[in-house]
Amino acid sequence: MKATTAEDIRAYNDATINGGVRGLFYGIGLSLPTYYILNSRVTAYRNLPSPAKAFGFVMLIVPCISITAEKSGEAFTRSQYEGVAKRELDREAQIEHERWQSLSSVQKLADWAGRHKYGLVGASWVGSLGVAWALVNRNKHQTTSQKVVQARMWAQGLTVGLLMASALLTGFDSSKTEDPRTPHEDHTWRAILESDPHLNEEERQRLHEIKKAVVDRKEQLVKEASTSVSK
């Protein structure tokens, strides 16, 4: 990947802003039909105060802006890679695809939930708010403001339960994973160097020696740490 310049930064910002603008239109395209349908067919929605209706618009539009802006920025960043760096990204994508294909349906569900748990929590909160409102709205002896407060309390309780269920779903197989205290090590540089066609045999041999020295030093540090703990 080439060195980042001021033009690259401006181009990245432009791509992100354009993505956010698209997300704004997506959000408006989703929220307006939803508003007209609910306002014309659901009496409880028509009786909601304007701030509650505006909050519904925000809950639809803001995530659309955020997600599309982020994805556009990521797509622009990937498009700037070339040569060996691009090949490395393609290799990692292929490895991830093969890993995904090797998972069972339950493992795929857990993996997907783990990568989208915050979105699931947000969506579950909105859904639980609607369910709670439908339940609370049956009470004819409360005002609309009281019903909104009650629905919010119900939604918070339901969201806590869904959050716990999501945590169990994504962590049920934690016994087979690595120690969470172990820091993640990025060895992308090794793969990039090894695939560099400009390296001669001597340089490749030197690279392998460096890798071996790093691994040996790491094992030595682990042994020293284990020895100090046992003492």
User: Tell me, what's the pLDDT at 85?
Assistant: 67
pTM for the whole structure: 0.53
The pLDDT tens digits of the residues spanning 138-191 come to: 777 777 677 777 777 777 777 777 777 666 655 554 444 444 444 455 556 666
- Would you list the domain boundaries of the chain? 1-83, 107-172, 189-231
Task: Yes or no: say if 137 and 44 are a contact pair by the CB < 8 Å rule.
Answer: yes
Cα–Cα distance for residue pair 78/92, rounded to 1 Å: 13
Cα–Cα distance for residue pair 105/111, rounded to 1 Å: 10
Burial of 225 (0-12, 13-18, 19+ CB in 10 A): exposed
Q: How many CB atoms lie within 10 A of CB 75?
A: 11
